[in-house]
């Protein structure tokens, strides 16, 4: 069902899936260039201008196109999420950060407009090149802009971004631009090689682990869909091999690699001190650093901070528990955001908000081509340890991917007899 406006551009409706990407791509280019300049000049006010330009370009594209809203399940979920945040603000405006609320509403509207326009998936449009070149340019600029910190002998590059975590998150959007059906193997390998390079330079444990787990998910789905690997015991052997490889990585030979040492040390620290951190006691990070030989206890700090976040949620009244304290409330009540987007949504938008988010992402996950589901898995895992919703640049391209990727979703892997047969069928062979 579509609620249609009166203004329909003939030029766009002739080729809506192709021409409709022109303005969003141009808006993203302008927004990215403004963001680079704002970070380099340390003038964050320009980021508002960049975001406004991107939003305006999408709105103009929607108005020049079908000027209609698709009454779809996912659109209804997004509308409910948006209205819920407005209700929480009206209930208690003292806990809402209003510029965060505006960003939240803008992202919801972007999804609704892009989805309603029925555009081709972002990874298959000719305008994909603009998004790829912009992200690569950001990565290149980060090489030359001073923004390096040292943690446990690991040089963490953040470039012009606020921190290394934001740098790695933005670079992970390269996954959304890989055309799994049409790109050559060399091009796909190049995309992943560049992304791995950026992740290693950022030294972000959460992003690296999320990417590795998502790639394992991708290839398990691929093996499961190919009838060459019907037998479950083969997947079991692969799982055992991966566990053994993980054990081998902890030996001294690999511990000389700084990023491996940092990941292993963080996991070991969390594993041994988890009960203490989860108990709510104040931790002596200096003593823990000396015990484990690390200058970074960020993993353990996150768990302790999550416990504080849960305590604040537990103190909420019934309305706040169901609908949240309001967008941006976590930074006001905790003085630092939770570093866990699931807890953040639970605090700011309540049980209802978290449920809506989960159902929305599950709906999109089931709709999109199964070859691209690992992208959602990667971001979902990274959300456990980072504040991804703060990054408007990332959220913009993420929404473009989610809204457009649902428009072409072939059969599920369980019903696909063979990958080769399926590809031949798609190309009419």
Burial of 237 (0-12, 13-18, 19+ CB in 10 A): exposed
Q: How high is the pLDDT of residue 354?
A: 96
Q: Quick one: which H or E segment has residue 3?
A: strand 2-4
Mean pLDDT calculated for residue range 347-364: 95
* DSSP labels, 248-304: HTTSHHHHTSHHHHHHHHHHHHHHHHHHHHHTTPPP-HHHHHHHHT-S--HHHHHHH
Q: How high is the pLDDT of residue 14?
A: 42
Mind listing the pLDDT tens digit for each residue in 282-324? 777 677 777 766 667 777 788 888 888 998 999 999 999 999 9
Q: How high is the pLDDT of residue 44?
A: 74
Whether 424 shows a pLDDT value over 50: the answer reads no
Mind listing the pLDDT tens digit for each residue in 358-403? 999 999 999 999 899 999 999 999 999 888 888 889 999 999 999 9
Q: Quick one: which H or E segment has residue 27?
A: helix 22-41
Q: Between residues 3 and 212, which one has the greater pLDDT?
A: 212
Q: Between residues 71 and 207, which one has the greater pLDDT?
A: 207
Whether 15 shows a pLDDT value over 50: the answer reads no
157 falls in which pLDDT band (50, 70, 90)?
confident
Q: How high is the pLDDT of residue 273?
A: 73
Domain ranges, ordered by start, for the chain: 2-231+354-423, 249-312
> 385 with 192: CB under 8 angstroms?
no
The dihedrals phi and psi of 54, each to the nearest 5 degrees, come to -60, -45
Q: Is the dihedral of CA 124, 48, 386, 351 positive or negative?
A: negative
- Residue located via tokens 């001190």: 273
Q: Is 407 helix (H, G, I), strand (E, B) or coil?
A: helix
Among 33-47, 72-86, 147-161, the range of highest mean pLDDT? 72-86
Mean pLDDT calculated for residue range 32-44: 82
d(C-alpha 49, C-alpha 43), whole Å: 11
What's the pTM? 0.84
Q: Between residues 110 and 146, which one has the greater pLDDT?
A: 110
Cα within 13 Å of Cα(103), Cβ side = 20
Q: Mean pLDDT score of the chain, rounded to an integer?
A: 81
Whether 120 shows a pLDDT value over 50: the answer reads yes
Measured CA to CA in angstroms, residue 137 lies from 23, 95, 143, 144, 229 at distances of 20, 38, 10, 11, 40
7 falls in which pLDDT band (50, 70, 90)?
very low
């Amino acid at each position: 069902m579509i609620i249609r406006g009166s203004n329909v551009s003939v030029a766009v409706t002739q080729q809506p899936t192709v021409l409709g990407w022109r303005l969003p791509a141009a808006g993203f280019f302008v927004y990215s260039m403004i963001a680079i300049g704002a970070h380099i000049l340390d003038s964050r006010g320009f980021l508002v201008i960049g975001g406004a330009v991107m939003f305006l370009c999408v709105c103009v594209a929607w108005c020049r196109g079908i000027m209609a809203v698709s009454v779809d399940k996912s659109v209804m979920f997004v509308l409910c999420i948006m209205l819920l945040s407005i209700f929480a603000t009206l209930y208690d405006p003292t806990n809402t950060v209003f510029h965060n609320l505006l960003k939240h509403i803008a992202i919801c509207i972007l999804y609704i407009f892009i989805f309603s326009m029925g555009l081709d998936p972002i990874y298959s449009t000719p305008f994909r090149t603009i998004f790829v070149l912009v992200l690569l340019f950001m990565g290149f600029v980060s090489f030359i802009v001073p923004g390096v910190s040292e943690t446990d002998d690991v040089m963490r590059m953040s470039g012009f971004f606020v921190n290394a975590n934001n740098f790695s998150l933005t670079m992970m959007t390269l996954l959304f631009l890989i055309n799994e059906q049409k790109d050559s193997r060399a091009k796909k390998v190049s995309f992943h090689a560049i992304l791995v390079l950026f992740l290693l330079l950022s030294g972000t444990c959460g992003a690296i682990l999320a990417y590795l787990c998502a790639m394992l998910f991708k290839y398990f789905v691929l093996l499961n869909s190919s009838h060459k690997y019907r037998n479950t015991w083969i997947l079991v052997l692969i799982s055992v091999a991966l566990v053994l490889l993980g054990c081998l990585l902890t030996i001294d030979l690999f511990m000389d690699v700084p990023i491996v040492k940092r990941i292993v040390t963080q996991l070991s620290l969390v594993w041994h001190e988890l009960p203490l951190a989860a108990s709510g006691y104040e931790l002596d990070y200096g003593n823990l650093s000396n015990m484990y030989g690390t200058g970074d206890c960020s993993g353990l700090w996150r768990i302790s901070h999550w416990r504080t976040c849960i305590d604040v949620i537990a103190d909420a009244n019934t309305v706040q528990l169901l609908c949240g304290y309001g967008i941006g409330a976590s930074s006001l009540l905790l003085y630092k955001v939770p570093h866990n987007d699931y807890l953040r949504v639970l605090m700011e938008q309540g049980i209802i908000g978290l449920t809506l988010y989960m159902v929305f992402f599950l709906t999109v996950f089931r709709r999109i081509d199964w070859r691209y589901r690992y992208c959602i898995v990667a971001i979902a895992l990274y959300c456990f340890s980072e504040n991804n919703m703060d990054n408007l640049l990332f959220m913009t391209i993420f929404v473009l991917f989610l809204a457009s990727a649902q428009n072409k979703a072939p059969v599920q892997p369980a019903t696909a007899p063979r990958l080769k047969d399926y590809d031949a069928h798609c190309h009419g062979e």
